Amino acid sequence: MSVQDKKLKHKEDFRIKILSAAKKLFVEEGIEATSIRKIAKEVGISPTTIYLYYKDKQDIVYALHLEGCSLLRTQMQALMHVDHPFERLKAIGKAYLSFAVNESGYYELLFVMKEPMQFLADRGEGSVWEEGDRVFEMLIATIKDCQQEGFFVGMDTQTLSLQAWSTVHGIASLFLSGHLEKLNNLLFSEASKAEFLERTFQLYVSMLETIK
Protein backbone atom coordinates (compact mmCIF):
# COMPACT_ATOMS: atom_id res chain seq x y z
CA MET A 1 0.00 0.00 0.00
CA SER A 2 1.43 3.36 -1.04
CA VAL A 3 1.83 6.30 1.35
CA GLN A 4 -1.06 8.07 -0.39
CA ASP A 5 -3.28 5.00 -0.03
CA LYS A 6 -2.41 4.76 3.66
CA LYS A 7 -3.34 8.41 4.16
CA LEU A 8 -6.66 7.90 2.40
CA LYS A 9 -7.41 4.79 4.46
CA HIS A 10 -6.52 6.63 7.67
CA LYS A 11 -8.85 9.47 6.73
CA GLU A 12 -11.67 7.08 5.85
CA ASP A 13 -11.21 5.14 9.12
CA PHE A 14 -11.48 8.38 11.07
CA ARG A 15 -14.56 9.41 9.15
CA ILE A 16 -16.22 6.08 9.97
CA LYS A 17 -15.31 6.43 13.66
CA ILE A 18 -16.78 9.94 13.79
CA LEU A 19 -20.04 8.87 12.15
CA SER A 20 -20.34 5.76 14.31
CA ALA A 21 -19.85 7.78 17.50
CA ALA A 22 -22.29 10.45 16.33
CA LYS A 23 -24.99 7.89 15.44
CA LYS A 24 -24.64 6.28 18.88
CA LEU A 25 -24.97 9.63 20.68
CA PHE A 26 -27.80 10.90 18.46
CA VAL A 27 -29.89 7.83 19.30
CA GLU A 28 -28.99 7.72 23.00
CA GLU A 29 -29.10 11.43 23.82
CA GLY A 30 -30.85 13.09 20.88
CA ILE A 31 -29.36 15.34 18.24
CA GLU A 32 -29.95 18.57 20.16
CA ALA A 33 -28.13 17.28 23.24
CA THR A 34 -25.19 15.98 21.24
CA SER A 35 -22.37 18.42 20.62
CA ILE A 36 -19.24 18.24 18.51
CA ARG A 37 -17.31 18.13 21.77
CA LYS A 38 -19.27 15.06 22.93
CA ILE A 39 -18.70 13.32 19.60
CA ALA A 40 -14.98 14.09 19.80
CA LYS A 41 -14.81 12.71 23.35
CA GLU A 42 -16.58 9.52 22.23
CA VAL A 43 -14.01 9.04 19.44
CA GLY A 44 -11.06 10.09 21.60
CA ILE A 45 -9.96 13.05 19.50
CA SER A 46 -10.04 16.83 19.82
CA PRO A 47 -13.09 18.76 18.56
CA THR A 48 -10.90 20.62 16.09
CA THR A 49 -10.01 17.32 14.41
CA ILE A 50 -13.68 16.70 13.58
CA TYR A 51 -13.84 20.01 11.73
CA LEU A 52 -11.22 18.64 9.33
CA TYR A 53 -13.88 16.18 8.17
CA TYR A 54 -17.23 17.91 8.75
CA LYS A 55 -18.05 21.61 8.88
CA ASP A 56 -20.66 21.29 11.66
CA LYS A 57 -23.03 18.90 13.43
CA GLN A 58 -25.71 19.23 10.74
CA ASP A 59 -23.15 18.09 8.19
CA ILE A 60 -22.58 14.95 10.29
CA VAL A 61 -26.33 14.38 10.62
CA TYR A 62 -26.81 14.52 6.88
CA ALA A 63 -23.76 12.35 6.18
CA LEU A 64 -25.29 9.65 8.39
CA HIS A 65 -28.63 10.15 6.65
CA LEU A 66 -26.99 9.54 3.27
CA GLU A 67 -25.23 6.42 4.53
CA GLY A 68 -28.48 5.04 5.89
CA CYS A 69 -30.30 5.73 2.62
CA SER A 70 -27.55 4.03 0.68
CA LEU A 71 -27.69 0.96 2.90
CA LEU A 72 -31.48 0.68 2.65
CA ARG A 73 -31.43 1.26 -1.11
CA THR A 74 -28.84 -1.51 -1.55
CA GLN A 75 -31.01 -3.95 0.41
CA MET A 76 -34.10 -2.98 -1.57
CA GLN A 77 -32.31 -3.15 -4.91
CA ALA A 78 -31.34 -6.75 -4.25
CA LEU A 79 -35.05 -7.64 -4.18
CA MET A 80 -35.95 -6.07 -7.51
CA HIS A 81 -35.04 -9.33 -9.29
CA VAL A 82 -37.97 -11.16 -7.63
CA ASP A 83 -40.16 -11.98 -10.63
CA HIS A 84 -43.61 -12.10 -9.06
CA PRO A 85 -44.43 -8.50 -8.14
CA PHE A 86 -46.66 -9.31 -5.16
CA GLU A 87 -43.96 -11.55 -3.67
CA ARG A 88 -41.51 -8.72 -4.30
CA LEU A 89 -43.83 -6.30 -2.53
CA LYS A 90 -43.92 -8.59 0.51
CA ALA A 91 -40.14 -8.98 0.41
CA ILE A 92 -39.67 -5.20 0.29
CA GLY A 93 -41.92 -4.80 3.32
CA LYS A 94 -40.04 -7.42 5.30
CA ALA A 95 -36.71 -5.87 4.30
CA TYR A 96 -37.92 -2.50 5.56
CA LEU A 97 -38.91 -4.03 8.92
CA SER A 98 -35.58 -5.85 9.12
CA PHE A 99 -33.74 -2.60 8.43
CA ALA A 100 -35.71 -0.84 11.17
CA VAL A 101 -34.92 -3.55 13.72
CA ASN A 102 -31.31 -4.28 12.79
CA GLU A 103 -30.26 -0.74 11.84
CA SER A 104 -32.40 1.22 14.27
CA GLY A 105 -29.91 4.09 14.48
CA TYR A 106 -30.02 4.68 10.74
CA TYR A 107 -33.78 4.07 10.68
CA GLU A 108 -34.46 6.79 13.23
CA LEU A 109 -32.23 9.22 11.34
CA LEU A 110 -34.01 8.45 8.08
CA PHE A 111 -37.64 8.27 9.12
CA VAL A 112 -38.13 9.53 12.67
CA MET A 113 -35.82 12.45 13.42
CA LYS A 114 -36.69 15.75 11.76
CA GLU A 115 -33.15 17.17 11.57
CA PRO A 116 -32.12 15.66 8.19
CA MET A 117 -35.24 17.14 6.57
CA GLN A 118 -34.48 20.45 8.28
CA PHE A 119 -30.98 20.29 6.79
CA LEU A 120 -32.51 20.08 3.31
CA ALA A 121 -34.90 22.93 4.08
CA ASP A 122 -32.07 25.12 5.37
CA ARG A 123 -30.15 24.35 2.20
CA GLY A 124 -33.07 25.61 0.13
CA GLU A 125 -34.23 22.15 -0.94
CA GLY A 126 -37.26 21.88 1.33
CA SER A 127 -39.34 19.68 -0.95
CA VAL A 128 -36.46 17.70 -2.49
CA TRP A 129 -35.43 14.40 -0.92
CA GLU A 130 -33.49 12.72 -3.69
CA GLU A 131 -32.13 9.84 -1.59
CA GLY A 132 -35.55 8.97 -0.19
CA ASP A 133 -37.17 9.33 -3.60
CA ARG A 134 -34.81 6.73 -5.07
CA VAL A 135 -35.91 4.21 -2.44
CA PHE A 136 -39.59 5.09 -2.82
CA GLU A 137 -39.38 4.72 -6.61
CA MET A 138 -38.60 1.00 -6.13
CA LEU A 139 -41.85 0.61 -4.22
CA ILE A 140 -43.79 2.54 -6.87
CA ALA A 141 -42.31 0.37 -9.63
CA THR A 142 -43.31 -2.77 -7.72
CA ILE A 143 -46.88 -1.53 -7.16
CA LYS A 144 -47.11 -0.78 -10.90
CA ASP A 145 -45.97 -4.32 -11.70
CA CYS A 146 -48.57 -5.67 -9.27
CA GLN A 147 -51.28 -3.70 -11.07
CA GLN A 148 -50.21 -5.16 -14.38
CA GLU A 149 -50.72 -8.61 -12.83
CA GLY A 150 -54.28 -7.77 -11.75
CA PHE A 151 -53.71 -6.47 -8.23
CA PHE A 152 -54.99 -3.10 -6.97
CA VAL A 153 -56.99 -2.45 -10.14
CA GLY A 154 -58.22 1.11 -10.56
CA MET A 155 -56.21 2.44 -7.62
CA ASP A 156 -53.82 5.38 -7.88
CA THR A 157 -50.29 3.93 -7.92
CA GLN A 158 -48.55 6.66 -5.96
CA THR A 159 -51.28 6.94 -3.33
CA LEU A 160 -51.28 3.17 -2.79
CA SER A 161 -47.48 3.15 -2.61
CA LEU A 162 -47.55 5.84 0.05
CA GLN A 163 -50.21 3.93 1.99
CA ALA A 164 -48.19 0.71 1.84
CA TRP A 165 -45.04 2.46 3.03
CA SER A 166 -46.91 4.32 5.78
CA THR A 167 -48.43 1.11 7.12
CA VAL A 168 -45.13 -0.77 7.34
CA HIS A 169 -43.46 2.34 8.76
CA GLY A 170 -46.15 2.45 11.44
CA ILE A 171 -45.51 -1.17 12.38
CA ALA A 172 -41.75 -0.53 12.55
CA SER A 173 -42.09 2.64 14.61
CA LEU A 174 -44.51 1.03 17.08
CA PHE A 175 -42.14 -1.91 17.44
CA LEU A 176 -39.08 0.27 18.08
CA SER A 177 -40.90 2.49 20.56
CA GLY A 178 -42.11 -0.51 22.58
CA HIS A 179 -45.80 0.16 21.92
CA LEU A 180 -46.19 -2.96 19.80
CA GLU A 181 -44.77 -5.07 22.62
CA LYS A 182 -47.54 -3.84 24.93
CA LEU A 183 -50.11 -4.96 22.36
CA ASN A 184 -48.26 -8.25 22.12
CA ASN A 185 -48.67 -8.81 25.85
CA LEU A 186 -52.35 -7.94 25.57
CA LEU A 187 -53.22 -10.02 22.52
CA PHE A 188 -50.64 -12.81 22.26
CA SER A 189 -48.93 -13.18 25.61
CA GLU A 190 -47.26 -16.41 24.54
CA ALA A 191 -45.62 -14.90 21.43
CA SER A 192 -42.10 -13.50 21.35
CA LYS A 193 -41.54 -9.99 20.03
CA ALA A 194 -40.19 -11.39 16.77
CA GLU A 195 -43.21 -13.67 16.37
CA PHE A 196 -45.66 -10.87 17.07
CA LEU A 197 -43.87 -8.61 14.59
CA GLU A 198 -44.19 -11.35 11.97
CA ARG A 199 -47.88 -11.86 12.77
CA THR A 200 -48.50 -8.13 12.46
CA PHE A 201 -46.74 -8.00 9.10
CA GLN A 202 -48.69 -11.01 7.83
CA LEU A 203 -51.92 -9.26 8.79
CA TYR A 204 -50.81 -6.32 6.63
CA VAL A 205 -50.09 -8.74 3.75
CA SER A 206 -53.52 -10.33 4.17
CA MET A 207 -55.13 -6.91 3.89
CA LEU A 208 -53.20 -6.25 0.67
CA GLU A 209 -54.38 -9.57 -0.76
CA THR A 210 -58.01 -8.53 -0.33
CA ILE A 211 -57.55 -5.43 -2.52
CA LYS A 212 -58.39 -6.41 -6.09
| Burial of 33 from C-beta contacts in 10 A (0-12 / 13-18 / 19+) | exposed
Structure confidence by residue, pLDDT tens digits, 21-37: 998 998 888 888 899 99
Domain with CATH 1.10.10.60 in the chain: 1-54
Angle of CA points 14, 20, 24, to nearest 5°: 145
CB-based contact 80:138 (threshold 8 Å): yes
What's the CATH fold of domain 57-209? Tetracycline Repressor; domain 2 (1.10.357)
Domain with CATH 1.10.357.10 in the chain: 57-209
Nearest CA-CA partner of 27 in 92, 79, 104: 104
Average pLDDT, the chain: 85
Domain spanning 1-54: CATH superfamily: Homeodomain-like (1.10.10.60)
Structure confidence by residue, pLDDT tens digits, 119-160: 777 776 555 567 778 889 999 999 999 999 999 988 999 999
SS3 assignment for 31-86: CCCCCHHHHHHHHCCCHHHHCCCCCCHHHHHHHHHHHHHHHHHHHHHCCCCCCCHH
